[in-house]
């Protein structure tokens, strides 16, 4: 039996959706509480540090949700290369189906806040580091040398995040298609016996 989300959870989930689509600075506090169907004062009750504290929490919560995608998409694939290809392909499908609005929520917030909020920058860095560790672990488990696994994870994540920006601007998945092909080729080349 699933329980209804708490007011705090509703505020975080509504913020994550709004920040992903409109950005951090483009989203107002009144808009957040309206979307969360929460009393105005509840935001400051749960987040006494205001919107910045809420933003840090959103980064950490959304980062955890998106980090699970590595396990849900790459792990069940018949092989690592196919999992990487599938990851980029599904990202493109989701992005197109959302009207090019739902890209990486962490990147969207990070681009706006990393230079102005140390707590939000650190939260973003922590989330990205978690994602990189998951990718590097999977690469190493497939036999890729640990000294190669982390740089390969960095390159893969960089290809994904950069492609999201280009796709949103062009309103096409061409960049994700190209980035996915390059990431898969790099993983294939790094595998033992390649």
Q: How far is CA 44 from the centre of its chain?
A: 26
Is residue 148 within 8 A of residue 126, CB to CB? The reply is no
Separation between Cα atoms, residue 22 and residue 29, nearest integer Å: 13
- For the segment 44-83, what is each residue's pLDDT rounded down to a tens digit? 999 999 999 999 999 999 999 888 988 899 999 999 999 9
Q: How large is the average pLDDT for residues 109-136? A: 96
Cβ proximity of 105 and 16 under 8 Å: yes
| pTM of structure | 0.90
Phi, psi dihedral angles at 127 (to 5 degrees):
-65, -50
The Cβ of residue 143 has, within 10 Å, a number of other Cβ atoms equal to: 13
Domains with residue ranges and CATH for the chain: 55-190 (1.10.357.10)
Quick check: 173 pLDDT over 60?
A: yes
Confidence of residue 2 (pLDDT cuts 50, 70, 90): low
100-126 core/surface letters (b: 16 or more CB in 10 A; e: else): bebbbbbbbbbebbeeebeebbebbee
């Amino acid at each position: 039996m699933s329980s209804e989300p708490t007011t705090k959870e509703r505020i975080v989930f509504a913020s994550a959706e709004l920040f992903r689509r409109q950005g951090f600075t483009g989203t107002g506090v009144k808009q957040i509480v309206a979307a969360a169907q929460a009393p105005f004062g509840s935001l400051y009750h749960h987040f006494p540090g205001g919107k910045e504290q809420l933003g840090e929490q959103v980064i950490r919560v959304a980062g955890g949700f998106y980090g699970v995608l590595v396990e849900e998409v790459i792990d069940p694939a018949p092989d690592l290369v196919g999992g990487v290809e599938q990851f980029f392909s599904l990202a493109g499908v989701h992005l197109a189906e959302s009207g090019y609005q739902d890209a990486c929520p962490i990147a969207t917030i990070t681009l706006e806040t990393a230079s102005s909020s140390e707590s939000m920058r650190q939260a973003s860095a922590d989330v990205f580091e978690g994602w990189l560790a998951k990718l590097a672990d999977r690469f190493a488990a497939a036999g890729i040398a640990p000294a190669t696994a982390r740089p390969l994870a960095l390159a893969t994540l960089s290809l994904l995040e950069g492609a999201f920006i280009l796709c949103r601007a062009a309103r096409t998945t061409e960049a994700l298609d190209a980035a996915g092909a390059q990431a898969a080729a790099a993983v294939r080349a790094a595998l033992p016996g390649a």
